[in-house]
Amino acid sequence: MLQVQPENLRGAANIFSAAGKNPLAAMFGADETLRGGGLAIYCLFYNAEKRDMDILKAEFSADGDLSYPSLTPILPAAAWYERELHDMFGFIPREHPDLRPLVLHETFPEDFHPLLKKYPVDYQVRGSRKYEMLTSAGEGLYEVPVGPIHAGIIEPGHFRFSQAGEAMLQLDAKLFYTHRGIEKAVEGKTPFEALPLVERICGACSVANTLSFCQAVEKLSEADVPRKAWLIRTLAAEMERLYNHVGDTGNVCAGVGFSPVISMGSRLKEYLMQLNEMLAGNRFLRGLIVPGGVNCDVDENCLEEIDEVLRELEKEYRDIVHIMWEQNNFVNRIRTTGIIRQNTAFELAMVGVGARASGSVRDSRKDIGFGIYDELDFAVVTETAGDVEARIKVRVGEVYESIKLIKQLISKLRKEPEGSLCVDLGMLRTLEGSWGISESARGDNLHWLMLDEEGRIDRLFVRSASYPNWPALTLAVQGDIIPDFPLINKSFELCYACLDR
């Protein structure tokens, strides 16, 4: 970890990013005043060569000036992080091109920064501040506001389209409507007490969030997680990717009203969710992974069932994919729609399917190789076109890779001797930052954890995969027409709850 003066943060970040070779993984603040420190900004950069994160820290005195030169002009990926820092801690990134509020909407008072320690977790506020949407004006231009309440059963988000006829000129998204303050709520809890909250940050990536969190906790301990536990964890992680990708393959067709595939996709997803329930006792695989290992074993019956269902599922899934590619009208809709160019994906430090469809090869399972992924044989599926079709293709490819992985895991689990599933982590090291990463269906989920002197959580930062990809969505739509927006949106399949942590 390198500690720099706030004034030097931009320069140091420039060096750490190695001219963009090491993308910004996360940027967040911490209030360390209770331990006699000040406020701090941490920047994490992926370092693929070291298979590690480079950590950069800038410390500010608590009652002094909180301004520093913004990173956004050199690293566009920092834009949202810095807006959030501004909201949550009151940092002032100078020369930030767009320092509108992000998390705190117009019902919050102007100078309220909830993640500062001086505000207790049950602090109540009411106020008003300005929240402006990006708009446009001119002859023939108009705006279409959509949401935050939508016709389907989805989470809240307000989209403001600036239109010239059917063509979308600009899109601004107002998200974070149901921000739950989980990062604040877990402060003062032990990691085990915080676990149920962390598992519920998001439904579709419960395993990924729990796995990242558990790894962050385990890095603070001397104990090693048993190999068998890692096999079961990896099995759960791949089952989660599988049910998400299978469901999303069908769901993307809802954007074009291609209904047979939608219902086929949800039928297959349901089989997988029932397998999940058998595996962990929970359809979202909650309660399985704990710091130190896993909660329950997988017996031979369960492995047999998974094996059988997957064999059938793979066949049916191939049928669905066949139907999709045979439908010229469908391919016509998805090709060249919602393009993200490679350098855009790169500059926004996109992750997951969104990035890999635009020519990136980033996959934390390969790059960081957490757990036992290094022992397993799988390929990172990439496409270069960056359109809706490419994202569907990456998803389809990853389904086959996940099935391949699960088969390997099953045979490894069968060979694995009986052994302990969970290790006692003992005393955790305190006042030391640690991070955990895992690959969810949407990309990597990154957690940062620091414990105070008593072993209770001082700061937990959660950056789910959707966070860096949301700004990309607003760029992907430019130049397309507004009836194609639902399709483009569904091809990213971004999560609102992952932001509302």
Q: Which residues bind other proteins (CB under 8 A)?
A: 142-146, 150-152, 165-166, 253-260, 262-264, 267, 327, 329-330, 332-333, 481-486
Q: Are strands 293-294 and 457-463 parallel, antiparallel or unpaired?
A: unpaired
- Nearest to other proteins of 372, 482 (CB atom): 482
Q: Which among 275, 389, 395 has a CA at the least distance from the CA of 333? A: 389
Angle, alpha carbons 441-447-449 (nearest 5°):
160
Task: Please give the Cα distance from 386 to 364 (Å, whole number).
Answer: 20
Q: What is the dihedral of CA 13, 66, 96, 449, to 10 degrees?
A: 50
CB of 262 to other proteins, least distance (A): 8
- Nearest to other proteins of 11, 260 (CB atom): 260
CB of 481 to other proteins, least distance (A): 6
- Nearest to other proteins of 62, 254 (CB atom): 254
Task: Please give the Cα distance from 8 to 11 (Å, whole number).
Answer: 5
Q: Which among 388, 167, 348, 366 has a CA at the least distance from the CA of 258? A: 388
Residues 6+ apart with CB under 8 A from 139: none
Query: Encoding tokens for residue 86?
Result: 């501004």
CB of 482 to other proteins, least distance (A): 5
CB of 391 to other proteins, least distance (A): 17
- Nearest to other proteins of 108, 485 (CB atom): 485
CB of 98 to other proteins, least distance (A): 24
Using CB atoms within 10 Å of the CB of residue 414, give its burial: 0 to 12 exposed, 13 to 18 middle, 19+ buried: exposed
- Nearest to other proteins of 256, 351 (CB atom): 256
Task: Please give the Cα distance from 391 to 382 (Å, whole number).
Answer: 9
| Residue 125 CB neighbour total at 10 angstroms | 11
CB of 62 to other proteins, least distance (A): 46
CB of 305 to other proteins, least distance (A): 23
- Nearest to other proteins of 125, 481 (CB atom): 481
Indicate the SS3 state at residue 404.
Answer: helix
CB of 405 to other proteins, least distance (A): 29
CB of 400 to other proteins, least distance (A): 23
- Nearest to other proteins of 64, 260 (CB atom): 260
Element containing residue 401 per DSSP (H, E): helix 388-415
Q: Which among 406, 394, 377 has a CA at the least distance from the CA of 442? A: 394
DSSP string, 305-356: HHHHHHHHHHHHHHHHHHHHHH-HHHHHHHTTSS---HHHHHHTT--HHHHH
Helix 300-326 vs helix 259-280: crossing angle, to nearest 10: 170
CB of 326 to other proteins, least distance (A): 11
- Nearest to other proteins of 301, 329 (CB atom): 329
- Nearest to other proteins of 58, 256 (CB atom): 256
Return the beta strands (E) in 372-427 as ranges.
Answer: none
Query: Encoding tokens for residue 37?
Result: 């420190």
CB of 398 to other proteins, least distance (A): 23
Q: Which among 116, 1, 4 has a CA at the least distance from the CA of 62? A: 116
- Nearest to other proteins of 151, 427 (CB atom): 151
- Whether 236 and 280 have beta carbons less than 8 Å apart is answered as yes
- Whether 460 and 446 have beta carbons less than 8 Å apart is answered as no
- Nearest to other proteins of 5, 259 (CB atom): 259
